[in-house]
Structure formats: structure tokens, C-alpha cells
Amino acid sequence: DAGVTQSPTHLIKTRGQQVTLRCSPKSGHDTVSWYQQALGQGPQFIFQYYEEEERQRGNFPDRFSGHQFPNYSSELNVNALLLGDSALYLCASSLVGTGGSETFGSGTRLTVV
């Protein structure tokens, strides 16, 4: 049973570019959350998708957007990249109503130069 799968594992982009990160949830899960983890910090909540809609959002600008597909997989898009967007982006999946039991992916390491 595959866990949460994220792609790519590493990515280097130039300031001003756009990036798309992908996440496949654990089998049986229907909710996907995205987190940003800067170096030396704990992860910060970006947003959560359920039933193909953004359900909750953290304190991130509109440059950060997402999408959830009918198969529950999800994408995180970041436009107009800034150097400060360099971070590890983590995806976590869960099943709605299970009270917080999330499974995490290995993350995508984004470097903006």
C-alpha cells in the first residue's frame, strides 16, 4: 500500500518563474494538506483540499494556489517565485472525519536562485 507520493523530489527554479508540485495521497485518503518548511523551522500550513475545493488556508499570499483532482491527487502552484520561497514543501493526506491522522510525504525540496 503506497503512502503519500510527492514529485519531483528536488527542483531548482529562477526568481519570477512558476512551479508546480504534485502529490498523490495514501490509498483511501480523500483530503490533502500542503505545508512549507523553511530551513531550521517547523512546517507551516499552506492550505487543505477536500472534494476538489480549498477547504482551509493558512497565511500565504495568492501566489500560492492549488488544485485537487477527482482521484484525490493534488497540485501546489507557486507563481512569481521569490528567493524566500526556497523550502521543503510537504504534502500530507488524511481521511475526513478521522480526527487528525495525517500521513506525510517525503517532500519536494525547492530552491529558488
Partner 1 sequence: KNEVEQSPQNLTAQEGEFITINCSYSVGISALHWLQQHPGGGIVSLFMLSSGKKKHGRLIATINIQEKHSSLHITASHPRDSAVYICAVFPNYGGSQGNLIFGKGTKLSVKP
Closer CB to partner 1, residue 48 or residue 70?
Answer: 48
CA–CA dist 19, 13 (Å, integer): 8
∠ CA 57-51-42, nearest 5°, is 35
Binding status of residue 7 toward partner 1 by CB under 8 A: no
First to last CA, the chain: 37
CA–CA dist 22, 91 (Å, integer): 9
For partner 1 (CB under 8 A), the number of binding residues is: 25
Range 54-93, binding partner 1 (CB under 8 A): 56, 58, 88, 90, 92
CA–CA dist 58, 44 (Å, integer): 8
Closer CB to partner 1, residue 85 or residue 102?
Answer: 102
Q: DSSP alpha helices (H): ranges in 10-51?
A: none
Task: Select from 45, 60, 65, 75 the one that contacts partner 1 (CB under 8 A).
Answer: 45
Task: Select from 1, 2, 14, 40 the one that contacts partner 1 (CB under 8 A).
Answer: 40
Residues that bind partner 1 (CB under 8 A): 33, 35, 37, 40-45, 48, 56, 58, 88, 90, 92, 99-107, 109
